[in-house]
Amino acid sequence: MAEHVTESIIEHRDVWIFIEQESGLINPVGFELLGEGRRLADDLGDKLVAVILGRDVDELAGDVFARGADKVIIVDDPVLKDYRTYPYRAGLVKLVEKYHPRILLMGATTLGRDLASAVATEVRTGLTADCTELGIDPETKLLTQTRPAFGGNVMATILCRLSRPQMSTVRPRVFKLPPADCDRAGELINETLAISEDEVPTKVLEFRAHTDHSDVEIETADVIVAGGRGLGGAEGFGLLRELADALGGEVAASRPPVEMGWVAVDRQIGQTGKTVRPKLYVAVGISGAVQHAVGMQGSDVIVAINKDPEAPIFKLATYGIVGNLFEVVPALIEALAGVERTSSDVSCEVVEEDG
């Protein structure tokens, strides 16, 4: 065992980011992780390596270099066209066993959660899910993985001391999108998948769209107007919709309105809901419990409207309005015009380093 540990610490290097893509479209959480990974890699003196698995994914490398990767490893194979655990796990495990990364980060998406646990199990390492903060311990150089624990009442920092890679998943929007620099160059490595379609036990027959989904993309909204128990009922959310429309935003909620059936579950923000990082988050009749805060505290500007001046939400707020929401919100609707929305989409060609 001791021999294995020593070998692990000496041989493993580099910070890897798994870049999730679907039909050639990169999930932005991959870019967000590149931004954070860049900081970790610089701290360790490591390379930042992005890994892309899929079919016809070569052209994605340019965008990935632009967001900070030093190297991109691509496995392009027809078997990887649609996500299935078996071939993606096999592909990623093969790379981990060949290159021995120190750290492997993945998005806490449906795909990322599935793949991360399968890979961690196969390579016999630890996995910390849903991290809200990552860092490097200055003494041990271990990855510090912080996440809510015990029902969100404490933030626990977890270390993976013995096994490698140190693996974490992070939800979309926890980290900021790094700026794209289309002039950045990097090393492109093509690897092969060692398995054939015959070996894969699951087959994709067709895709069907969900019909029980409200089709809302809360995670990508620039403006979110969220309501809490203080709204008093579904009618209160009608008022909130008017405010959201005036701001060009989406309506979201804390957990009680979802539990009471006032709002659809895919609009819940927080530990057991979604994590968002909009330019503007308006919290109306929300107290600001830690389980809600972990889902919205990264927002650029937070405006809180609450009748209780002692409500914890005011500690997070950039601007606070103390008052009855049923007076404040109609006054805001009257006063507000729409806000302009900007796009952060950038597309870059592959720039490879000479030699």
Where do contacts with ligand FAD occur on this chain (CB under 6 A)?
151-152, 228-230, 254-256, 268-273, 285-287, 289, 291-292, 295, 306-308, 311, 324-326
Q: How far is the CB of 298 from ligand FAD (least distance, A)?
A: 15
**Cα–Cα distance measured from residue 209 to residue 46, given in angstroms and rounded to the nearest whole number:** 42
**Sheet-wide strand order for 127-131:** 127-131, 166-170, 103-107, 15-19, 48-54, 71-76, 187-191
For 88-102, letters b (16+ CB in 10 Å) and e give bbbbbbbbbeebbbb
Q: How far is the CB of 147 from ligand FAD (least distance, A)?
A: 13
Which of residues 37 and 295 has its CB atom nearest to ligand FAD in the complex? 295
* Residue the block writes with tokens 């103390």: 322
Which of residues 8 and 291 has its CB atom nearest to ligand FAD in the complex? 291
Which of residues 133 and 187 has its CB atom nearest to ligand FAD in the complex? 133
Residues 6+ apart with CB under 8 A from 25: none
In the beta sheet, which residues pair with residue 19?
52
**Cα–Cα distance measured from residue 6 to residue 57, given in angstroms and rounded to the nearest whole number:** 37
Q: How far is the CB of 255 from ligand FAD (least distance, A)?
A: 3
Q: How far is the CB of 333 from ligand FAD (least distance, A)?
A: 15
Q: How far is the CB of 353 from ligand FAD (least distance, A)?
A: 44
- Helix residue ranges per DSSP H, the chain: 2-11, 28-44, 61-66, 85-99, 110-123, 234-247, 255-259, 290-293, 313-316, 325-335
Give yes or no for a cis peptide into 165 (omega within 30° of 0).
Answer: yes
Chain centre to alpha carbon of residue 259 = 24
Which of residues 166 and 254 has its CB atom nearest to ligand FAD in the complex? 254
Q: How far is the CB of 106 from ligand FAD (least distance, A)?
A: 21
Which of residues 12 and 292 has its CB atom nearest to ligand FAD in the complex? 292
Which of residues 71 and 229 has its CB atom nearest to ligand FAD in the complex? 229
Q: How far is the CB of 224 from ligand FAD (least distance, A)?
A: 13
Which of residues 125 and 132 has its CB atom nearest to ligand FAD in the complex? 132
